[in-house]
Amino acid sequence: MRVTMTLSLPRQPSSVTRARHVLTTLLSLTDAAEDSRGHLAVLITEACANAVMHADPNSSVDIAIIIDDDVCQLEVGNRGSAPNGAGLNAELPAPLTVGGRGLPLIAALADEAAFVAGPPDHVLLRITKHLTEVRTSLVR
């Protein structure tokens, strides 16, 4: 099954929840396991929260969701710049009550995640998660 959707949401906190709801609805159409769906919910939440927090003031949060058989790819973009020195291999901050957990969480839960080249003054984070575990259902 192939499912794709693109969204352009306003740079506001409620967009994070909207993006997560769209993703979970699309994943409910698939055989993805509950843990994979949970990881993807965290991934889109963290990526969108970072975009809302760090984007240029008049930027939208642009999201592409591509589910193709056993792979889900998320792309979250906005006008702004990639973080300097705090890449996807950053350590979790201590204490955990401070900000800066998003990128390390993304790196830990994604199979692949990277900032990719886009138009000038744009940031695009591409996240890939393999959906190898399948939900079990009762067969009658």
Q: What is the pLDDT of residues 127-139, one digit of tens each?
A: 999 997 554 444 4
pLDDT at 82: 72
Q: Is the pLDDT of residue 13 over 60?
A: yes
Q: Is the pLDDT of residue 95 over 70?
A: no
Q: How many CB atoms lie within 10 A of CB 63?
A: 24
Q: How confident is the model at residue 140 (pLDDT cuts 50, 70, 90)?
A: very low
DSSP 3-state of 79: strand
- Between 93 and 51, the higher pLDDT residue: 51
Q: What is the pLDDT of residues 1-12, one digit of tens each?
A: 899 999 999 999
Q: What is the dihedral of CA 90, 64, 55, 107, to 10 degrees?
A: -10
Which element (helix H / strand E) includes 63? strand 60-68
- Domain ranges in the chain are 2-130
Query: Who contacts 81 (Cβ-Cβ below 8 Å, separation ≥6)?
Result: 121, 123
The DSSP bridge pattern shows strands 112-116 and 71-79 to be unpaired
Q: Return d(Cα 134, Cα 82) in angstroms, integer.
A: 34
List the CATH code of the domain at 2-130.
3.30.565.10
Return the percent helix, strand and coil in the chain, to nearest 5: 30, 30, 40
